[in-house]
Structure formats: C-alpha cells, structure tokens
Chains A and B, each alone.
Chain A
Amino acid sequence: MTMREPPLTKVAAALGEPLGAQVLDGQAHLAPVAVAGIQETVVWRVRGESGPHPWQVYVGAWPGGSIRLLTADQDAWADLVGTTGVRLTNASQAQSFVETFLEVTRGAMVIVRAVTSLDDIRWRPGSTEEENAKTALLADPPPTTPTVEPTADGFHIELTLVVDQRLQRNSFDLTSAGEITRTSFRVLAEHLPLPVAR
C-alpha cells in the first residue's frame, strides 16, 4: 500500500473553518485508512482530540489531487472509488470493503458498528422502556451472522449493524469493481439501551 499524506492546506480547506485551523496548527491529526481492493491510500481519517468533545471526519484523496470530505457523503465515496479503481477478488475483501464504506460515510455523530452476535453489543443502563426492548430482543434473537454470497458481477452482503440506539440488518449488492448498486436495511429493534454519541 502506498501512502503519501495529502497537503494539510487542502485537508483544512475541505473541512472548512473552524476545524480546518486545527489541522494546520497540529491539534488534529491524519491517519491513513486502508480500503480493501485499493492499493494506495486514498482515504484519511482526521481526528481532533484537544477540545471537550473529540471530532473525526474522513477525507478522500482523488487521483487528480483534490481532497473532499467523505463523512456522511456516500456519493463522494462512490465517485472516489470509481475514479481510483477497485478490485475485489474474494468474499473477505468484499465484506471489509463494505465495512470501511459504512465507517467512512457514517454521519459524524452516528454510531455505526457491525456485530456478528448479540454478545458483541455493548449495553448501557437504560430506562424501563429501553430495558424492555432489550429483553424482547434477547428473547427472540434476530440474524446477526454476516453473509457474503458471490453474484454474477460481484457480491451480495448482509450485515447486522448497531446504528445509534437500534439494531438493523443491512444488505448490499456490489460489483467486484466496488460499485455499490443496491442498499437496503430492515430495523430489527429500536429504542435499545445503547450508547449515545456526544
């Protein structure tokens, strides 16, 4: 994997003020993000931890040199991977690619975490209503095992995700070139006693 940190001035411009200034004065730091199927580093995490609340966004480095925000922007992700070129050769790569897509494009204040069993879920103390929702979920466990099936032009993937205070089953159709052609999700349970991002 090749790795060349993008110019900080461009990253700062992509973030805008006042967060861009934190990139320039060293309060926020860049870290490379590996994307399955792409050799070079085209995604960078930008994280600032000097204030009362930490913040984090992801930016993409386009082959032409432009830097754009990817957080909460799935269209930008699609453009980046389409321009860069992706080659997914096996199920494990495809699943990793989708999990990275979800993390990079999640809303900055939205918790998104793939789970493979209900044991992976980190609970917090909840209200009575939330605890009842948890009890109902545990009494009737939904599917949590990830599935990856090859298709004619790529893969069909199903993942169970924690998204803020709900659990959902997401499905994806993607080509071996990394183009996500269809996404859908079904809410499995909501109002659960799950952590709140601040």
Chain B
Amino acid sequence: MLSLQRAAGNRAIARLLSRGVVQRHPGPTDNVEVQDETTTASPAEETAVPASTEAQAAPSTTDAPSQPGTGTTGTTGITGKTPTGLTGDARHKAIYDALGASATGMWAQRIITKWSIPIDYEFGGRGSFHQGGKIFLNKTLGIGGAAITLMHEAQHADTYKSGKQADRTKLARAEYITHSIADEAEAVVRQIEGLAVTESLGADMTGAGVGDDLKLRYTNAFAAKREELLKADPEMSTAQINTACRTATRDGEVTKWFYDGTFVTSTDLNTYAIYYGRQWDEVNKTPGK
C-alpha cells in the first residue's frame, strides 16, 4: 500500500513540476546557477511553515486619538526624510551581514558576486529598484528592510543579466504578462523566505515590502499543499515536499496576487496583469492608432 501511495505521490509531484506554466524558474533552481547544489541550502528549507498558522484575534475598529499631520507621506520610497542611522561603509556592511543570515540572503550575495552587480546602498531618489543591471536601495530603508529588498531585486538582476527578461517585442501578449508576473512572483517569494530570519536579527525592517499578512497567506497556502502531498505520499522527504510546496505556492497563491488586486501599481492602482498588458499594447499597437 505504501509503495502505491508513494508512486501516486511521485506522479503528483511530476505533474506539478511539469505543468505548462510559463516560468523561467520552475523550481528553486537558482542556487544551482551560482553554486554547487551540494553546498547550497535550498531556499525551500527556509520556507518551513511555522508551527502555527492560526489567525490572530481580529482587531476591533480602532478608536485612536487624533494625531498631527496627514499620515500620507510614508517613511520610505522617496527622497530620504528619515535617515536610518548608518551610512557609508557601515550601512553597506550591515546590509550585507543581514543578507548572510539567511539562505535566500546568501543566494542574493552570490548573484551579486556572480554578475558583479553595482549597488547604491543610499539611493536618494524615488523608491528602490533594479535597472539595467544595477540595484538602487533607498537610503530610507532600514537595514533589515534593505536586505529583504535586495533579495527581491537580486532576482530581477539575475533575470536581466541572464537574458531571461520578458521581451514584449517578441512574446505574445498573454505570454509577456505571464513571464513578467512569474519573475515578480519569484522575487516576492525570495522576500518572504528571507523575512523570518532577517526579522529575528532585530534589524529595522522599514521598507521590507512584505508584511506579516502576506507571509501568512503564503504559509497557509504552503501548508495546505504540504498536507495534500503528504496525504498522497506519507513518505515524501522534507526536501521534496518543500521544493514542491514552494513551486506550487509561488505559481498559485503568490502569482494570484498580481491578478486579484492584492498588488497594484503605485501610479494608478491597477493590477500588474493590466499594467503589463498595457505595456505590450503600447509596443505592439498598430501604427497610426
């Protein structure tokens, strides 16, 4: 019976991994790209579902006192209004050390080294982003927030440097949207994977970009998949389960966030499916229209 169950489970995994999803990174394969697999902790290992994913008690409607100001300018994402203390080499070192605490952070370090990616650790302009093989980290980000952001941007930098960036001049519209969102979803998973360890350092997480609620949605989906897989094959190894759950959660739950209005553009609050679709339309519009 066990053998039958295992065979069924393995078939389920095989189906999962061979799905026709357009994805540059069908699994947590990026460590292999930069380092011998045997010496690299799988990002999936870091994705261990927390012991309890039960929802916390709902907060009641807040009857907070009035505060001065408007509460609308934020603390991150624009020219530095709230310096975070460390600057120069000390800030650079603190962020790099924070990366070194997690497997995903170490992956980001290897990507940065592999492609010799220049990083502005105290970008004074708008936001934090990857552009043309360079990463800009806003100076308003806390050390932990910067480390998490760097994990995200390292994914984009790797995609760019390896020539896997979605090309709206070559792909069909639906493919372009799917490819673009796939890279974003992978980058968000990187952030979530690094979150717990980086938070545990006690670092300032200002600007981390993902919070506890999204992490909870991720871990809930991860746990549900794990339960499904274990039901199908109780003898699956932890590594197999984590890898399969990571892929399924990224391509399911996290990818959905770019379509269902969880993540929206900061400009006109559209979903990313709409945004990428418009990008494609702009490049491929009929001349004269």
Contacts and interface: CB of A to CB of B under 8 A. Distances in A.
Interface in A114-146: 122-133, 135-137, 140, 142
B73 A72 contact: yes
Interface in B57-72: 57-62, 64-72
Contact of B55 (A128, A168, A186): A128
Given A168-B71, A186-B66, A111 B81 contact: no
Given A129-B213, A187-B64, A72 B78 contact: yes
B interface majority secondary structure: loop
B184 interface: yes
A16 B125 contact: yes
A142 B73 CA distance: 23
A87 interface: no
A175 interface: no
A126 B213 contact: yes
A72 B81 contact: yes
A107 B278 contact: no
B79 A197 contact: no
Contacts, number: 197
A75 to B, nearest CB: 10
Interface residues of B, number: 60
Given A56-B267, A72-B81, A168-B71, A136 B60 contact: yes
Contact of B62 (A17, A131, A190): A190
Contacts of A105: 70, 72-73
Contacts of B69: 183-185
Interface stretch (B4-12, B126-134, B193-201, B226-234): B126-134
Contacts of B96: none
A15 B78 CA distance: 10
Interface in A1-39: 15-19
A105 B14 CA distance: 51
Given A72-B81, A107-B76, A135-B58, 5 more contacts: A69-B79, A73-B73, A107-B75, A108-B126, A185-B70
Q: Return the 5 tightest CB-CB contacts between A and B, nearest first.
A: A132-B58, A107-B74, A128-B55, A109-B77, A72-B78
Interface of B: 55-62, 64-79, 81, 124-127, 129-132, 134, 136, 156, 180, 183-184, 209, 213-214, 216-217, 220, 260-269, 272, 275, 278-279, 282
11 contacts: A52-B130, A54-B275, A56-B266, A71-B78, A107-B78, A112-B72, A133-B58, A136-B60, A168-B71, A186-B67, A195-B262
